[in-house]
């Protein structure tokens, strides 16, 4: 098995579709048809600084990293 240090974010049910994460890191986050944020398939982990910024900017603490 190959070990990696790639941190994968997810968005939980607290999302209030403010779109801040999309504005900050649109390469990773998008809004679905119901305007809830989600993490795009095949997201690029090289955006980790921007992901951290999106986590800090989320007003309801809805973005976390998978353990």
- When asked if residue 63 is in the footprint of ligand SF4 (CB under 6 A), the reply is yes
- When asked if residue 21 is in the footprint of ligand SF4 (CB under 6 A), the reply is yes
Decide the pairing of beta strands 29-31 and 37-39.
Answer: antiparallel
CA distance 9 to 45: 10
The residue written with tokens 């974010």 in the block is 9
- When asked if residue 25 is in the footprint of ligand SF4 (CB under 6 A), the reply is no
- When asked if residue 62 is in the footprint of ligand SF4 (CB under 6 A), the reply is yes
Nearest to 18 by CA among 62, 66, 64: 62
Residue from 20, 25, 39, 51 binding ligand SF4 (CB under 6 A): 20
Residues that bind ligand SF4 (CB under 6 A): 11, 15-21, 37, 57-60, 62-63
């Amino acid at each position: 098995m190959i070990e990696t240090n790639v941190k994968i974010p997810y968005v939980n049910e607290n999302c209030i579709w403010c779109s801040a994460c999309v504005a900050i890191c649109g390469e990773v986050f998008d809004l679905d048809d119901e305007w809830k944020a989600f993490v795009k398939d095949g997201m690029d982990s090289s955006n980790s600084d921007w992901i951290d910024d999106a986590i800090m900017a989320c007003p309801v603490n809805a973005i976390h990293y998978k353990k």
